[in-house]
A and B are shown apart, each in its own frame.
Chain A
Amino acid sequence: MDKIPTLKDIRPFVSTRNACKLCAPLGASVALKGIEGCVPVIHGSQGCATYIRRYMISHYKEPVDIASSNFSEESTIFGGEENLKIALENVIGQYKPKAVGIATTCLSETIGEDVEMQLMQLRDLAKAKGWPELFTVSTPSYQGTHMDGFNATVLGVVKHFSSKTEPVERVNLFPGFVSPADIRQLKEIMVDYGIQATVVPDYSDALDNPVWDQYYRIPKGGTRLVDLKTMGGALASVELGAFTAVRQGGGEESSSADWLEDKFEVKKYQSVLPIGISHTDDFFDSLTKITGKEIPDKYLMQRGRLLDSYADGHKYIFGKKAVVYGEEDLVLALCSFLDEIGVEVVIAASGADSGRLMEQLKIHCPVHGENINVLSDSDFEQIGEMSKLINPDFLIGNSKGNYIATNLNIPLVRVGFPIHDRIGGQRVNHLGYLGTQELFDRIANAMIEYKQNNSPIGYKYM
């Protein structure tokens, strides 16, 4: 059996070879799974919904029901309105949802479907039949990546549900595309600060359910619709991530927190995903500013233990060369964390192309930022070919880069989405002092294990 072919020379390609990104409707589906009682409908061919379900199921190991409007040749020529209506009737009849979020696809966008308009026209029927909340978000897969779909959907949800309300003692939290375990931890932090938080999206339960004694057509959990409606009156919004802005009609960009600030003057606090001491400190500082409360002791202890482990483990990772890939926000946060612990990031790659990754990396990686090879609009073959030249010590990213690590005979530290070749991807902690601790231990141990496996010296004691 041969190896998967690799090219001897590096050359530019017009085509994408082993994509390091997914399409926008996938991001939309993940976000919609985090809204209470919401069923996603993908407006396009049956395959879009099924592929995305399969992709998500392989990672979350949970039932992921996503309906499709199931375009046919007829609907492609004459429009998908009728199909959408049938799909809504069937989804609502079967699932009894509290909301239905409709994400468009390359197909429905290309034939010029105006779903917003179609929903307007269905309004009377919907009212008569007592249908739940219906909203749509534009997610053609020829535009950006799954992250654009995710962010556009969060913004779509915020716009649909929020209005000017009385001030409420709540804080809006936009965690970004993180793991269910991360969201659980963020919610715990909010509780410990005494903050009533509206976390959007909150798929901490729906995409990481306990075992069931009966089958739930819609899993429990998700951001409550009543809470979504009060977002305009919240004390503040905390947005995690530096690449959350969505391109609006007219070309201007706005994230969910931006929009709430512009529209309802909800103060926005933004930080890089809290991975590493620096950005986790920033995140806790925001919460302290909002509430006037000091950081709870529990987290000071976590921080202290994390620092203690930095002392225990720093030598094993110092000067190691890392290849980091994935979504821009995850890449930025990981690089910043690695920079903080003495690892040299040699390649930072993403399938996305915001045009801002390099600038952000330079700001947030003060030690080695200048030396990072930044690959935007990249793919796994390009990452693999570059890695071969540089000889890194380890890779950190989702499971799709595993073949590169295998070819180079170096470890892959699996983080983010998807983790298709292991169990527990939904339970990986990345954020906060706790998540950083998990990542730090895993990275240090990967380096120690590598050395141990390739060394004649016994490693019975350290």
Chain B
Amino acid sequence: MERLIKERITQIHTVGESANELNCDTKSTAGSVSQRACVFCGSRVVLYPIADALHLIHGPIGCAAYTWDIRGALSSGPQLHRLSFSTDLREKDVVFGGEPKLYKALTELIEAYKPKAAFIYSTCIVGVIGDDVEAIARRVSKEQEIQVLPVMSEGFKGTKKDGYKAACDALSMLVGTDDTYQAPEFSINILGDFNLAGELWMLQDYYKRIGVNIITCLTGDGRVDEIRKAHKASLNVVQCSGSMMHLAKEMKEKYGIPYKKVSYFGIEDMAEALYDVATFFKNAEMLDKARQLVSKEVNDLLPALAPFREKLQGKKAAIYVGGAFKAISLVKALRLIGMETAVVGSQTGNKDDYDLLKKLCDEGTIMVDDSNPNELSEFVKEKGVDLFIGGVKERPIAYKLGIGFCDHNHERKEALAGFEGMLNFAKEVNASVNSPVWKFFKR
């Protein structure tokens, strides 16, 4: 492992071999070609799926251009979130201040598109040139009679995780603003699902079948008016805890709503998520329905998975994803189809996540936080993996080396959550790992 950056050694750990703990929650090393993005990116991906809100990016054009229609987050109704709005600041705005342009842009867009609320994202230079985004938000909010929520997401102010927090701060201004709503019994919010490829709709169906009502999902298929009522839920069920834990904790403090961390990837975790909710409500009928649902789904699924398991038995995988909690589910899901995990890492995992991963993984598994192409390519070669699970930035690393790839990032087009998702996952893994094209490649 020559030519790794010295400062990065503490963020790499081999299970059962390394003496040190894995260091995480740090800012990326300059010059390391981190796979992470910035604070703005964290905020933008979290809030993006709110479909009837206006999302205005205040800054020069790049930040808006690179996040136009960026996630596979589906909406069952309005599609306003799929347009990319920018104040597109120019040199003169930078010199004389961007406030007048922000005011005009916000006003014209609200008048034209009539959104239910508006988010303004601050980008790097907004703070530097001294624009008072909050003041403009207040003014327009008053004039247009809709909520305008500033998102303090200047790119340099930390890591992607700080962007999640900025998004949660904006959301918490929205939560609780509709107090007239009376929630039915057994109402929950889903936090941290983004309805990629319609995954939320599958989850909604499962919860409905066991008698649970979902008030809102933050933020998949999100609607402003539903988010306003979120404080009426009895429980927050949190997936993608990296992005949404902050809000869950705040809602617990403010409204006394407890939360549960769940994952919807793989059979075990999906079943657990349903049982957890039923157990929380201490409702025997609900638990019974959950058991029936799981047994029906699993009975349908296992025979369907069997042929894939046969073809994938003993193959090795590398995982590098945004959040470590997802990585944990993926390790389990891979096991279910007979595959072992040889390398696992994430951009933004925390200590708890990595401790769990360490327990879960076999000895010799490489664990890594905030990695980069050089390290990842070394690791996958060293371990001789057959599959790489990651996002678009990891894809060419795999393909260039003749390794199969599965997109498990926010741009994926296949639903991978839930029981049906597990089958899709197996299909996609098989389609790549067992493609005949690799026979022409030297590994």
State which of A23, A61, A209 has its C-beta within 8 Å of the C-beta of B62.
A23
> In the complex, A46→B30 CA distance in Å?
8
| Interchain CB contact under 8 A, A23 and B155 | no
A-B CB contact pairs (8 Å), 5 listed = A4-B83, A22-B61, A44-B124, A90-B5, A142-B94
> In the complex, A142→B74 CA distance in Å?
32
With A1-B79, A5-B78, A90-B5 as known contacts, state yes or no: A19 contacts B156, CB within 8 Å: no
Interchain residue pairs A-B with the least CB separation, the first 5:
A47-B38, A23-B62, A90-B31, A87-B31, A45-B155
State which of A16, A50, A66 has its C-beta within 8 Å of the C-beta of B64.
A16
Judge whether A373 is part of the interface by a CB distance below 8 angstroms.
no
> Which A residues touch B85, using CB under 8 A?
15-17
Interface range for A:
35 or more
> Which B residues touch A7, using CB under 8 A?
112-113
Shortest beta-carbon distance, A385 to chain B, in Å? 11
| Interchain CB contact under 8 A, B27 and A25 | no
Total count of chain B residues near the partner, CB < 8 A? 82
**Those of A60-110 within 8 Å (CB) of chain B:** 61-73, 75-76, 83-84, 86-91, 93-96, 105-107, 110
Shortest beta-carbon distance, A246 to chain B, in Å? 15
| Interchain CB contact under 8 A, B402 and A47 | no
> Which B residues touch A68, using CB under 8 A?
28, 30-31, 33-34
| Interchain CB contact under 8 A, A48 and B395 | no
State which of A66, A73, A86 has its C-beta within 8 Å of the C-beta of B156.
A73
Judge whether A364 is part of the interface by a CB distance below 8 angstroms.
no
Shortest beta-carbon distance, A58 to chain B, in Å? 6
Q: Which of B38, B59, B67, B93 counts the most chain A CB atoms within 10 A?
A: B38
Q: Which residue of B lies closest to A60 (CB)?
A: B396
With A45-B156, A217-B374 as known contacts, state yes or no: A212 contacts B401, CB within 8 Å: yes
| Interchain CB contact under 8 A, A63 and B400 | yes
| Interchain CB contact under 8 A, A69 and B56 | no
| Interchain CB contact under 8 A, B393 and A50 | yes
Q: Which residue of A lies closest to B124 (CB)?
A: A107
| Interchain CB contact under 8 A, B86 and A143 | no
> Which B residues touch A41, using CB under 8 A?
31
> Which A residues touch B128, using CB under 8 A?
76, 107, 110-111
> In the complex, A45→B40 CA distance in Å?
10
| Interchain CB contact under 8 A, A215 and B377 | yes
> Which A residues touch B381, using CB under 8 A?
214-215
User: What total of A-B pairs shows CB separation below 8 Å?
Assistant: 256
Interface with A: B100-108, B139-147, B354-362, which one? B100-108
Q: Which residue of A lies closest to B101 (CB)?
A: A14
**Those of B41-91 within 8 Å (CB) of chain A:** 41, 56, 59-68, 74-80, 82-91
> Which B residues touch A71, using CB under 8 A?
124, 155-156
Judge whether B29 is part of the interface by a CB distance below 8 angstroms.
yes
Judge whether B424 is part of the interface by a CB distance below 8 angstroms.
no
> In the complex, A91→B63 CA distance in Å?
25
| Interchain CB contact under 8 A, A76 and B33 | no
| Interchain CB contact under 8 A, A14 and B91 | no
Q: Which residue of B lies closest to A50 (CB)?
A: B37
Q: Which residue of B lies closest to A217 (CB)?
A: B374
Judge whether B125 is part of the interface by a CB distance below 8 angstroms.
yes
Judge whether A211 is part of the interface by a CB distance below 8 angstroms.
yes
Q: Which of B61, B86, B108, B157 counts the most chain A CB atoms within 10 A?
A: B61
With A46-B38, A67-B31 as known contacts, state yes or no: A140 contacts B60, CB within 8 Å: yes
Judge whether A53 is part of the interface by a CB distance below 8 angstroms.
yes
> In the complex, A212→B105 CA distance in Å?
48
Judge whether B399 is part of the interface by a CB distance below 8 angstroms.
yes
Shortest beta-carbon distance, A67 to chain B, in Å? 5
| Interchain CB contact under 8 A, B86 and A87 | no
| Interchain CB contact under 8 A, B66 and A2 | no
> In the complex, A95→B79 CA distance in Å?
43
Shortest beta-carbon distance, A23 to chain B, in Å? 3
Judge whether B350 is part of the interface by a CB distance below 8 angstroms.
no
Judge whether A127 is part of the interface by a CB distance below 8 angstroms.
no
> Which A residues touch B31, using CB under 8 A?
41, 67-70, 86-91, 94
Judge whether B36 is part of the interface by a CB distance below 8 angstroms.
yes
Shortest beta-carbon distance, B407 to chain A, in Å? 11
| Interchain CB contact under 8 A, B155 and A63 | no
State which of B86, B124, B378 has its C-beta within 8 Å of the C-beta of A19.
B86
**Those of B88-126 within 8 Å (CB) of chain A:** 88-91, 93-94, 101, 104-105, 108-109, 112-113, 124-125
| Interchain CB contact under 8 A, B34 and A15 | no
| Interchain CB contact under 8 A, A70 and B29 | yes
Judge whether A170 is part of the interface by a CB distance below 8 angstroms.
no
> Which A residues touch B35, using CB under 8 A?
50
